[in-house]
């Protein structure tokens, strides 16, 4: 029989050293453990995703009272609802009794969420409406004490964000200089309201920040997406020559950034007298049957989307012609949603063109996304080697579209939040 050494009194044990997250980010590089360390991931969910504005919906996804969709704030499932008074609520998707999820539909319309386990029911604002066999509770039980937990909600330009924090700055201040670019982005409605019209969703085995970086990475485009570029006609291939048009990247503060790849397509309401690209000529001819020439030009100019990506820290980007949403699942697993944008009430031919353009690049079998996803998985696989090495973000000067400026901006915010 072996004798177990007596445990040392707790007071004598040295406390575990608090991880020094700040030292893992330098101005021009980040430590490999940011992709691989489960402790860092858990801390990110707490210090970043539970601590800032997180995008949960576009207003068009819940257009009328009773509409709802499910989403996530970090790894926490939420329901986004539009109440009878038109206000948006974001509720933790967890019954206050014994934690059952009260909604498992991706989207829909209802007036009530019922927990399937014991039948507790909640209205669209989260208020607890009914408790079966309520006589089993004592007199102190008050339904008012058990609503679905409600997050703070604010909206900018149709983008709905939620936060678990009551005391952080308002959304508009958080977005700051990114607002100008969001406004420009929304011009691709060509005068019609922007509508989130369906989405591709896919997962890859890699850390969420690998995708966060990618939305502000023009450097990879001609390499990773050569097979997409060669599928285009010559004129369109020139449009997607993202490194050759004098683009740039700007740090917009608070971890946000913009990457301008096609400067000509920054403002879709300008240059309306430019020649119609050959790839949109058939569409223009079709639209001309029902719309005046100025309107046709505005729609055709908008139909291919904007020439830039606005990366909003931590989980949403307004990316050329679509919304890119990232959802951290685990330290080495991330879910990506690419939501197509259509013109609400716009010409069906123009909206079909937008759908086909989105399908061409995006999605699990698009000509672009599978190669991106493969690249991101290769980063995660490679990061298993050289665990003491750094990931380099030192590329690029001012006014260089392939500068890693946007990534540096995001990691500065990461450092600020993780050490706060």
Partner 1 sequence: MNGAQRCEENATTEPSVAGISLQEATQFIWLEADLLDGQDYSAWLALWTGEGRYVIPIERTGDDHADRLNVVYDDRAMREARVQRLKSGLSMSASPSARTVRTVSRFRVLGEHAGGTHLRCAQHLVEYKYDRTRTLAADVSYRLVRAAADSGPRIALQEKVVRLINSDDALFGMGYLL
Sequence-distant (6+) residues with CB within 8 A of 164 are 50, 51, 73, 151, 152
Q: 196 or 261, CB closer to partner 1? A: 196
How many CA atoms does the CB half-sphere of 46 hold within 13 Å?
A: 9
Q: Segment contacting partner 1 (CB under 8 A): 88-96, 182-190, 221-229, 284-292? A: 221-229
Note whether 199 binds partner 1 by CB under 8 A.
yes
Among 69, 174, 187, 358, interactor with partner 1 by CB under 8 A: 358
Using DSSP bridges, classify how beta strands 150-156 and 248-253 pair: parallel, antiparallel or unpaired: unpaired
Coil/strand/helix, residue 152? strand
Among 8, 17, 356, 385, interactor with partner 1 by CB under 8 A: 356
Q: How far is Cα of residue 226 from the mean position of the Cα atoms in its chain? A: 25
Q: Using CB under 8 A as the criterion, what x/- string covers residues 306-335 for binding partner 1?
A: -----------------------------x
CB of 359 to partner 1, least distance (A): 6
Note whether 200 binds partner 1 by CB under 8 A.
yes
Q: Using CB under 8 A as the criterion, what x/- string covers residues 147-186 for binding partner 1?
A: ----------------------------------------
Q: Segment contacting partner 1 (CB under 8 A): 58-66, 176-184, 220-228, 259-267? A: 220-228
- The candidate with the shortest Cα–Cα distance to 58, out of 91, 88, 98, is 88
Q: How far apart are the first and last CA of the chain?
A: 50
Coil/strand/helix, residue 47? helix
Query: How many Cβ atoms from other residues are within 10 Å of residue 114's Cβ?
Result: 18
Retrieve residue 348's tokens.
Answer: 């069906």
How many CA atoms does the CB half-sphere of 236 hold within 13 Å?
A: 12
Separation CA 320–CA 311 (nearest Å): 11
Separation CA 286–CA 96 (nearest Å): 55
**How many chain residues bind partner 1 (CB under 8 A)?**
39
Among 203, 274, 290, 387, interactor with partner 1 by CB under 8 A: 203
Q: Which residue has the tokens 């750094």?
A: 390
CB of 305 to partner 1, least distance (A): 15
Q: Segment contacting partner 1 (CB under 8 A): 78-86, 175-183, 192-200, 292-300? A: 192-200
- State which of positions 365-394 bind partner 1 (CB under 8 A): 365, 367, 369-375, 377-378, 381
Note whether 244 binds partner 1 by CB under 8 A.
no
Q: 247 or 363, CB closer to partner 1? A: 363
CB of 165 to partner 1, least distance (A): 28
Q: How far is Cα of residue 395 from the mean position of the Cα atoms in its chain? A: 25
CB of 370 to partner 1, least distance (A): 3
Note whether 363 binds partner 1 by CB under 8 A.
yes
Q: Segment contacting partner 1 (CB under 8 A): 52-60, 93-101, 271-279, 346-354? A: 346-354
Note whether 214 binds partner 1 by CB under 8 A.
no
Among 359, 390, 395, 400, interactor with partner 1 by CB under 8 A: 359
CB of 321 to partner 1, least distance (A): 12
DSSP code per residue over 69-100: EEEEETTEEEEEEE-TTS-EEEEESS-TTT--
**For 231, which DSSP code?**
T
What does the radius of gyration of the chain's CA atoms come to, in whole angstroms?
Answer: 24
**For 256, which DSSP code?**
E
Note whether 285 binds partner 1 by CB under 8 A.
no
Separation CA 110–CA 104 (nearest Å): 13
Q: 219 or 390, CB closer to partner 1? A: 219
Note whether 231 binds partner 1 by CB under 8 A.
yes
CA torsion angle for 407, 411, 414, 419 (degrees, to 10)? -170
Note whether 400 binds partner 1 by CB under 8 A.
no
Note whether 210 binds partner 1 by CB under 8 A.
no
Q: 31 or 354, CB closer to partner 1? A: 354
Retrieve residue 153's tokens.
Answer: 């909600």
Q: Which residue has the tokens 């729609």?
A: 299
Residues that bind partner 1 (CB under 8 A): 106, 197-204, 224, 226-228, 230-231, 335, 340, 348, 351-352, 355-356, 358-360, 363-365, 367, 369-375, 377-378, 381
């Amino acid at each position: 029989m072996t004798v177990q050494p007596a445990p040392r009194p707790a007071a004598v044990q040295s406390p575990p050293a608090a991880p020094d997250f700040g030292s893992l980010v330098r101005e021009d590089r980040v430590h490999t453990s940011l992709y691989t360390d489960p402790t860092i991931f858990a801390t990110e969910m707490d210090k970043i995703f539970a601590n800032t504005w997180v995008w949960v919906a576009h207003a068009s996804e819940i257009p009328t009272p009773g509409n709802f969709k499910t989403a996530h704030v970090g790894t926490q499932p939420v329901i986004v609802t539009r109440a009878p008074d038109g206000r948006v609520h974001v509720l933790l998707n967890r019954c206050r009794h014994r934690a059952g999820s009260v909604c498992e539909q991706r989207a829909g319309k209802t007036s009530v969420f019922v927990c399937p386990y014991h039948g507790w029911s909640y209205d669209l604002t989260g208020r607890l409406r009914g408790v079966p066999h309520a006589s089993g509770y004592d007199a102190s039980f008050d339904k008012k004490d058990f609503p679905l937990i409600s997050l703070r909600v604010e909206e900018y330009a149709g983008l709905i964000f939620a936060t678990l924090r009551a005391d952080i700055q308002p959304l508009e201040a958080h977005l700051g200089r990114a607002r100008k670019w969001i406004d420009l982005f929304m011009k691709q409605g060509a005068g019609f309201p922007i509508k989130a019209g369906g989405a591709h969703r896919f997962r890859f085995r890699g850390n969420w920040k690998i995708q966060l970086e990618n939305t502000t990475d023009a450097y990879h485009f001609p390499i990773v997406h050569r097979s997409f570029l060669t599928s285009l006609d010559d004129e369109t291939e020139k449009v997607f020559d993202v490194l050759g048009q004098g683009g740039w990247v700007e740090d917009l503060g608070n971890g946000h950034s913009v990457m301008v790849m096609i400067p000509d397509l920054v403002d879709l309401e300008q240059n309306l007298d430019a020649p119609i690209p050959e790839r949109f000529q058939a569409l223009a001819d079709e639209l001309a049957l029902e719309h005046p020439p100025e309107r046709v030009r505005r729609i055709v100019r908008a139909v291919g989307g904007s020439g830039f990506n606005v990366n909003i820290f931590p989980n949403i980007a307004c990316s050329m012609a679509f919304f890119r949403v990232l959802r951290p699942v685990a330290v080495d697993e991330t879910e990506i949603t690419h939501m197509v944008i259509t013109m609400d009430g716009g010409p069906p031919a123009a909206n079909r063109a937008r759908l086909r353009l989105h399908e061409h690049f995006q999605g699990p079998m698009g000509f672009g996304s599978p190669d991106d996803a493969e690249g991101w998985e290769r980063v995660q696989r490679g990061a298993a080697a050289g665990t003491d090495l750094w990931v380099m973000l030192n590329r690029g000067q001012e006014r260089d579209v392939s500068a890693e400026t946007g990534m540096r901006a995001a990691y500065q915010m990461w450092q600020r939040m993780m050490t706060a």
